[in-house]
Chain A
Amino acid sequence: MTSTSLHPTPSSRTVATEQFRAVGLALRTEGIFFVAALILFGALIIVSAVRFAHGDHSPNAHMGFRYGSSGAIPMFLVGLLIPFGVWRSEDPARRSYHWSMPVARGPHTVVKLLSGWGWLMIATILYLLFIIAVAYSVSMITGEQPWQRPTPAWEWAVAFTAPTLGYLLTSIAVIGSDHPWRWIGGILIGYGVLLAVLKSFGMEDIARALNTITDGRYGLNAALFGAVTDGARGITVGVTREAMATMRMATWVLAMPLWIIGSAIAVTVASYRHRE
């Protein structure tokens, strides 16, 4: 038996395509629920719009939409939870199937990660199209403008970056450990408990310093939704809406890449790390 008759490894293209299809299959049930939820929600809104158009409302009420960065919250939650669907493997033995394929483990894990992200972005596009469609449908029914206020471009972009960040963060735990819930729960509870303990001992300064992880200028909220809190709150009184919006965008533009690049590095390290 000579080495010339050794079998080849699969091509990267075949692997990438198949992983994308397989992950899509894994998420099929979730996808159906997602689309069903959108349709249901849309139907409810349209029904209200119809009733509104027939005068069935209080004098000062109106049905206008305003889409802001907080509109990305549902997709953010989807992004947080989807890795559990992508890596649906109840025990280490099942997980080892992915590792036994004739592909280098690190890149193979990243390919699966990216496949899940691809489906997440498709879901986000669907979500935004749905919102726009509902807004314009309601506008046609009620005769009002579809948008109360124009939405800046960056707030539309948040719909893509927030779920991406949520997806990456959860993926670090799911890829990096056998018990991701322990890590996620542990970090969240630990963070909350630590803050409460520090405050109760009167160590306000240390508590505030710790709190910048979520609420600071480069914190998680800033990275996700451009939220400006805590340190900046003191100066929001008397600030115009436009100036506020610019400040929020400014924080988001800096914080978002920081967090996304950081978590991308972490998840890549987790993907390449040898585990048994």
Chain B
Amino acid sequence: MTSSLPTRLRDGELAVDTRGLTKRFGDQVALNDVTLQVPTGAVYLLVGPNGAGKSTTLKVLLDLVRTEQGAAEVFGLNTRERAPEVRANVGYVPEFPTWGYGWMRVGRLLEHHALYYPTWDADYAAKLMQKFDLRTDRKMGVLSKGQARRVHLTMALAHRPPLLLLDEPTDGLDPFMRDETLGVLADHLAASPTTVVLSTHHVEEVEGLADHIGVLRNGELRAQMSRDDLNAGLRRYRVEVPDGWSGVASLNGTVLRRVAAPREVQWTVWGPEAEIVQMLTGSGGTVREVARLSLIDATLALLNPND
């Protein structure tokens, strides 16, 4: 158990492996030395505020955006040199709902898409269309944001790619459809071995699905780890402290949050639990509660530390 936030995963087969991606748009740094590591078969949640670089990272994997520095590999294929092969193995749901020919009808667009992906499963596509309550005869350009999103999900899932890159897959969907989408994803994962990288603002929705997390802020990957490691290492400590308490010199960990009230202090800390409890008790406090955090709370602490 390290005392600083991990940013590299331990060894293992990686579906997505980026090294030092750096991208500038004008004088704005979109990505700064991003080393993303997604193990094969993982469901990797990429979190970060708007403009943090999540969408840009996904686009780099598809060679839609090229970086000044760094390289990326998907299934061992360089994303720039072997881009068509990489894209043949990816199902992509983009952040913008206007994707695909606006003048084409939904059914025709699916036919078009199917021809580009030889592994297209037409029965599965039909099933998804039904589940998502989509009609084939409407033109893409007149669809609502949510309907377009569902068409894109169908397009991404129906050829059963080994890698799914989902940029806000439930954005614009009503609560019922959001829930349905999660069910569809769970079903998809059960049926086909798939690696998923998804970004979403609705972190609580993917509490059950995600098993890895990466935190992007201002184009930097602040933390990257498995859910198991997150569960093991991140704790909220509620400590009752006496009057005139002098504080604790240092905690063997990374303090993400510290909230103080007259007789009580609450820390959110990444680090070895036993040692931290010892230090807190040793400083004169009484540890009242050591709690694990939900995914959403952990995400908030990692995104907005106030140390």
Interface residues of A (CB under 8 A from B): 1, 3, 5-10, 14-15, 18, 22, 25-26, 88-91, 93-94, 96-97, 99-105, 274, 276
- Point out the residues of chain B lying under 8 angstroms from A5, CB to CB: 162
Among residues 104 to 120 in chain B, which have CB atoms less than 8 Å away from a CB atom of chain A?
A: 104, 108, 112, 115-119
Among residues 2 to 53 in chain B, which have CB atoms less than 8 Å away from a CB atom of chain A?
A: 13, 15, 40-41
| Residue from B85, B94, B100, B115 within 8 A of A14 (CB atoms) | B115
Q: Which residue of A lies closest to B80 (CB)?
A: A274
| Residue from A22, A94, A105, A276 within 8 A of B102 (CB atoms) | A94
Given contacts A9-B88, A18-B112, contact A97 B99 (CB under 8 A): yes
Most chain-A Cβ atoms within 10 A of its Cβ — which of B76, B116, B118, B159?
A: B116
Subset of 24 A-B contacts with CB under 8 Å: A1-B15, A1-B40, A1-B162, A1-B193, A1-B195, A3-B76, A8-B88, A10-B115, A18-B115, A22-B104, A25-B104, A26-B101, A90-B98, A93-B94, A93-B99, A97-B100, A99-B64, A100-B94, A102-B85, A102-B116, A103-B84, A104-B84, A105-B83, A276-B64
A7-B103 in contact (CB<8A): no
A90-B94 in contact (CB<8A): no
A7-B96 in contact (CB<8A): no
B98-A101 in contact (CB<8A): no
0/1 per residue, B114-139, Cβ < 8 Å to A?
01111100000000000000000000
A91-B98 in contact (CB<8A): yes
Tell me the smallest distance from the CB of A98 to a CB of chain B, in Å: 9
- Point out the residues of chain B lying under 8 angstroms from A105, CB to CB: 83
Known contacts A7-B88, A97-B101, A102-B84, then 9 further A-B pairs from the complex at CB < 8 Å, ordered by chain A residue: A1-B75, A1-B193, A9-B85, A10-B117, A10-B118, A18-B116, A88-B103, A90-B98, A100-B94
Tell me the smallest distance from the CB of A273 to a CB of chain B, in Å: 12
Tell me the smallest distance from the CB of A1 to a CB of chain B, in Å: 5
- Point out the residues of chain B lying under 8 angstroms from A9, CB to CB: 84-85, 88
- Point out the residues of chain A lying under 8 angstroms from B64, CB to CB: 96, 99-100, 276
- Point out the residues of chain A lying under 8 angstroms from B119, CB to CB: 7-8
Instruction: Decide yes or no whether B65 CB sits under 8 A from chain A.
Output: yes
Instruction: For the complex, give the distance between the alpha carbons of A94 and B119 in Å.
Output: 24
The 8 closest A-B pairs by CB, nearest first: A102-B88, A93-B96, A102-B87, A9-B88, A18-B115, A93-B98, A1-B40, A10-B116
Q: Which residue of B lies closest to A96 (CB)?
A: B64
B116-A15 in contact (CB<8A): yes
0/1 per residue, B195-232, Cβ < 8 Å to A?
10000000000000000000000000000000000000
Instruction: For the complex, give the distance between the alpha carbons of A90 and B99 in Å.
Output: 11
Instruction: Decide yes or no whether B89 CB sits under 8 A from chain A.
Output: yes
B161-A7 in contact (CB<8A): yes
| Residue from A22, A88, A94, A103 within 8 A of B99 (CB atoms) | A94
Number of A-B contacts (CB under 8 A): 97
B161-A88 in contact (CB<8A): no
Instruction: Please classify how large the interface on chain B is, using the bins under 10, 10 to 19, 20 to 34, 35 or more.
Output: 35 or more
- Point out the residues of chain B lying under 8 angstroms from A276, CB to CB: 64-66
- Point out the residues of chain B lying under 8 angstroms from A18, CB to CB: 112, 115-116
Q: Which residue of B lies closest to A99 (CB)?
A: B64
Given contacts A7-B161, A9-B88, A26-B101, contact A100 B112 (CB under 8 A): no
Instruction: For the complex, give the distance between the alpha carbons of A8 and B115 in Å.
Output: 12
- Point out the residues of chain A lying under 8 angstroms from B85, CB to CB: 6, 9, 102
- Point out the residues of chain B lying under 8 angstroms from A1, CB to CB: 13, 15, 40-41, 75, 162, 193, 195
- Point out the residues of chain B lying under 8 angstroms from A3, CB to CB: 75-76
Tell me the smallest distance from the CB of B141 to a CB of chain A, in Å: 8
B162-A25 in contact (CB<8A): no
Q: Which residue of B lies closest to A276 (CB)?
A: B65
A6-B162 in contact (CB<8A): yes
Given contacts A7-B119, A9-B84, contact A94 B162 (CB under 8 A): no
Instruction: For the complex, give the distance between the alpha carbons of A10 and B159 in Å.
Output: 12
Q: Which residue of B lies closest to A1 (CB)?
A: B40
Instruction: Decide yes or no whether B62 CB sits under 8 A from chain A.
Output: yes
Given contacts A15-B116, A102-B87, A276-B64, contact A94 B100 (CB under 8 A): yes
Instruction: For the complex, give the distance between the alpha carbons of A220 and B183 in Å.
Output: 61
| Residue from A6, A103, A274 within 8 A of B116 (CB atoms) | A103
Tell me the smallest distance from the CB of B58 to a CB of chain A, in Å: 11
0/1 per residue, B49-81, Cβ < 8 Å to A?
000000000000010111000000001100000
B115-A96 in contact (CB<8A): no
B98-A6 in contact (CB<8A): no
Instruction: Decide yes or no whether B237 CB sits under 8 A from chain A.
Output: no
| Residue from B41, B75, B94, B117 within 8 A of A6 (CB atoms) | B75
- Point out the residues of chain B lying under 8 angstroms from A88, CB to CB: 101-103
- Point out the residues of chain B lying under 8 angstroms from A26, CB to CB: 101, 103-104
